[in-house]
Structure 1
Amino acid sequence: MKVRAAKKPRRPKTVALTFDDGPSPYTPQVLDILRRNRVKATFCLLGNNVGDYRRTVRRIVREGHRICNHSRDHADFTKLSRTAARDNVERAQRKIRKAAGRSPKTFRFPYGASDPAARAVVRGEGLRILGWTVDTRDWQGPPAPTITRRAVRDTRPGAVILMHDGGGDRRPTVASLPNTIRKLKAKGYVFVLA
């Protein structure tokens, strides 16, 4: 009698949505869509923005999303000294902690721009560096269907999708979000925190 090998359990196809440069007036709209679709996301917050949006930051945390330090002021860390980089990260941490009631555990470099010295500073602050694998380029202002197409077309299991809830007119990003979520779910993706 042949003994069949036990099948390995299939790992779920995961994807993480991330939003940079907020909070902003668009963040509550993003949160509403995520709540309706039962999806959690990671919000990479600018320290200088959180003071005007404390209620929104608290809502992000209350609704089970992850917060991430995206610097104090969106500086290019490859152009900062170690001291300036550390000051930028620490000041953003303090501002986010004050608004959120907790400290971020992750850091995303503005523009994705880093060098060994900047990465050493961030790791020295005890933060995990968060990158991305799918850039929707929503910051260029394309229409909503283009943002959705890029997100869905380029997603592979384990993907981290870069979108923006701040830093400009984010109406196309907000408009793209329901279809992006629907199409990724239809492909069997499960949304996770980055």
Structure 2
Amino acid sequence: MLSNLLRDLRWRVLGVAGVIALMSGGVGLASSPVADAAVASPGVLQGFGTNTGGFTGGQGSQVVVGPGGGNPACEGTFVLPTANVSFSTIPLGNNNYELQWHLVLNAVSQNYLGPMVDGNMTVAGVNGYLINPPYSPHTELANYDFHSSMSTYQRIGSSYIGTLHADDMVDFGWAFKSVFDPNRGAYADTSCQILPSS
């Protein structure tokens, strides 16, 4: 499953041993051998957003799901234990879409990491294929809105360049490190589906 691979890769890239378990719902990191080894000592705040229990849509408490019925739509805000990630999709015509996102670390993460963080999208995928992450690493204030967008992508290890379409599954994994205490980190993962415009 791509989400397990995303978690494994993030742990390798993040390079911080340990987890402070601040997870919502029943999604667990324990299914990953790399993460199992990391659970031994504290150091990383974790958040995972594929469960609809951690998702709040734009209106009320209604959960928006994809056509398959089980995948959160790439619309609205994912409320994770470490951050809030807001998505919106823009139709570009011919069933092509642009996905926009905004990630803001929550107060728990900001307090834990301190005033400055190194933020990076360490891993990304579309429809089960790893892609070159569409976000460059940079250092910002901990309350910064880490934002960007994507309409095209390139698969890792391939010359294939794709365009986002309706029903595509998109997975993102972000990692953050404290600038002042490099032994402290946080991550946020999301998995969502592009819905066709109505």
More helix by share: 1
Normalising by structure 2, we get a TM-score of 0.32
When Rg is computed on C-alpha atoms for both structures, the one with the higher figure is 1
Relative to the length of structure 1, the TM-score reads: 0.33
Quick one: higher RCO (CA 8 Å, sep 6+), 1 or 2? 1
